[in-house]
Amino acid sequence: MKLLPLTALVALLAVTGCASSREPAELPALVDAVSPAPGVVSAGRLEPADIGRVRAAGIRHVIDLTPDAETPDFDEATAVRAAGLAYSNLPLRGPVDLTRENALAFDALVRDAKRPVLVHCASGNRVGAMAALRAAWVEGHQLEEAVLIGKAWGLKGLEGEVRRRIGSDGVRRGSNGG
């Protein structure tokens, strides 16, 4: 029996459709789009014209961290669902909503989302803030590592607030402690 080289096997699986569909086909051309983790895309605001690109990139689930009031002329939930994608919303207005409760909700949404998943806000900043808080409060990372994780997800202007919240939190909780 001959063994196929690994690259030939991977190519064969991709052609036959047996390869993982957990990765986007491509990074969608969206504002501030990055792929901070396998099967995850973080980005800025979605416009109506972006929905087709999101679907074409293989995204299966969109998690929107913006309140509806930020885009009163665009019903994102309806547009995303009409494209056949799952949609979730965790409306975060800014620093006031950087809470442990929201970090836990963010964790549940990201953990349970169909992959590949797109997580977005207006610029990626709130996404990165939630990723940093999740890294510290749920996964048990220390401050600097949590901030680096947040930056990979899009953390920018909320970094000081994230540092303050993690730094003032005297208790580190792992994934089993909530």
| Number of domains comprising the chain | 1
Strand partners, 64: 89, 120
Flag whether 173 is in a domain.
Answer: no
* 54 within some domain: yes
In tens, the pLDDT along 109-139 reads 999 999 999 999 999 999 999 999 999 999 9
Residue 147 in any domain: the answer is yes
The model's pLDDT over 14-65, given as tens digits with 9 standing for 90+, comes to: 333 333 456 776 789 999 999 999 999 999 999 999 999 999 999 999 999 9
**Does 6 reside within a domain?**
no
Residue 143, in any domain of the structure = yes
User: Does any domain span residue 85?
Assistant: yes
Specify the CATH number for the domain of residue 90.
3.90.190.10
**In this structure, is residue 159 part of a structural domain?**
yes
- Judged by DSSP in three states, 29 sits in coil
Strand bridging mode 86-89 / 117-120: unpaired
Residue 151 included in any domain: yes
Residue range(s) defining the domain that contains residue 109 = 22-168
Query: What is the strand order of the sheet 117-120 is part of?
Result: 34-37, 40-43, 117-120, 61-64, 86-89
Alpha carbon distances (Å) from 82 to 27, 48, 52, 79: 21, 12, 11, 5
